[in-house]
Amino acid sequence: MSGKWILPVLLLGALAVPAFAQLSPSADFAVHLANQYQIASNVTYRTVNNQEIKLDVYYRRGATTPQPTLVFMHGGFWVAGSKDTMLPALLPWMEMGWNVVNVEYRLGPATLAPAAVDDSLCALKWVAAQPQVQMYHFDTSRLVVSGESAGGHLSLSLGIIPDSAGLGADCPGPTPKVAAVVNFFGITDVADVIDGPNRQAAAARWFGDMPNKLDVAKRVSPLTYVRAGLPPILTIHGDSDTTVPYAEAVKLHQELAKLNVPNQLLTIPAGRHGNFSADERTKIYLTIREFLTKYGILK
């Protein structure tokens, strides 16, 4: 079910409760969100080779002032997945009162690297452009990027890869500096998962048969560009993840710490590639709140 319909369906389910009964906590939450948010579904943010690439915007009803905004990318090793399955990951941000932009990007092997990075950077530029800022009241000083797995890699790319890398250059406007990155078990060293000790066949499909794949992998690896002055970066990663190695997260945060970049690695003991327990997710979102509050982003 697409994000366009989930909130209305939840609301209808809540209203189906007999009038003499109290709403359950989940139904009350659904009504609250339906009252607070509007949805702009499948908005085209760029067109490439006659293909329209889309995103969804969840934005506060009646807002007249700039709203903190999350830009989110789904996972799938850049060759699978869909924004339309990501609503559960977005709900905690809406509960915090944030606008949310849920991004689609071109998938391999039909479209090879670095297209997904280009698209995500273009989406970020779209969010920061004045027509969208005015229409949806995005606060460009409080743009947080996030995603899971390949989406975690893309969120790190938005926070770390500099304009000098030439990615996303065919979309107009400057790349805005994000306020923070919340990375869920994202790839930090792309060469490792396409042609290294931790090779994943799905990830390798993003590069196909291109002859210079390792050069491109280095170009789209967040580890390549670690430097002073980056935004705060929070990573959530299970130490038993066999899909994206936990060691990649450790290495990233060691390098960030050497340069005094604000950062935190939240380790989920025995955690694998997502599918965390309810208690673990509670801990994760409490940590996200604390992290964003510490750096003045959540007020």
Question: 17 in a domain, yes or no?
Answer: no
Residue 12 has pLDDT above 80, yes or no: no
Which residue range is the domain that position 105 belongs to?
A: 40-294
Question: 108 in a domain, yes or no?
Answer: yes
Question: 21 in a domain, yes or no?
Answer: no
Threshold 0.85, pTM exceeds:
yes
Write the DSSP assignment of the chain as a string of letters. Answer: --HHHHHHHHHHHHHTS-TTSPPPHHHHHHHHHHHHEEEEEEEEEEEETTEEEEEEEEEETT--S-EEEEEEE--STTTS--GGG-HHHHHHHHHTT-EEEEE----TTTS-TTHHHHHHHHHHHHHHSHHHHHHH-EEEEEEEEEEETHHHHHHHHHHH--GGG-TTTTSSSPPPPPSEEEEES--S-HHHHHHSTT--HHHHTTTTT-TTHHHHHHHT-GGGG--TTPPPEEEEEETT-TTTTHHHHHHHHHHHHHTT--EEEEEETT--SS---HHHHHHHHHHHHHHHHHTTS--
Question: 15 in a domain, yes or no?
Answer: no
Q: What value does the mean pLDDT take over residues 238-266?
A: 97
Q: 46, 29 in Cβ contact below 8 A?
A: no
Question: 8 in a domain, yes or no?
Answer: no
Question: 2 in a domain, yes or no?
Answer: no
Per-residue pLDDT band at 5 (split at 50, 70, 90) = very low
pLDDT tens string 150-202: 999 999 999 999 999 999 999 998 899 999 999 999 999 999 999 999 999 99
Residue 3 has pLDDT above 70, yes or no: no
Q: What is the mean pLDDT of the chain?
A: 92
pLDDT tens string 90-109: 999 999 999 999 999 999 99
Q: What are phi and psi of 262, to 5 degrees?
A: -55, 125
Q: Hey, what are 294's tokens?
A: 């510490």
pLDDT tens string 33-84: 888 999 999 999 999 999 999 999 999 999 999 999 999 999 999 999 999 9
Supply the CATH number for residue 85's domain: 3.40.50.1820
- More confident position, 3 or 205: 205
Question: 20 in a domain, yes or no?
Answer: no
Which pLDDT value is given to residue 33?
Answer: 81
Domain count, the chain: 1
CA distance 276 to 48: 36
Question: 19 in a domain, yes or no?
Answer: no
Residue 20 has pLDDT above 50, yes or no: no
Which pLDDT value is given to residue 21?
Answer: 56
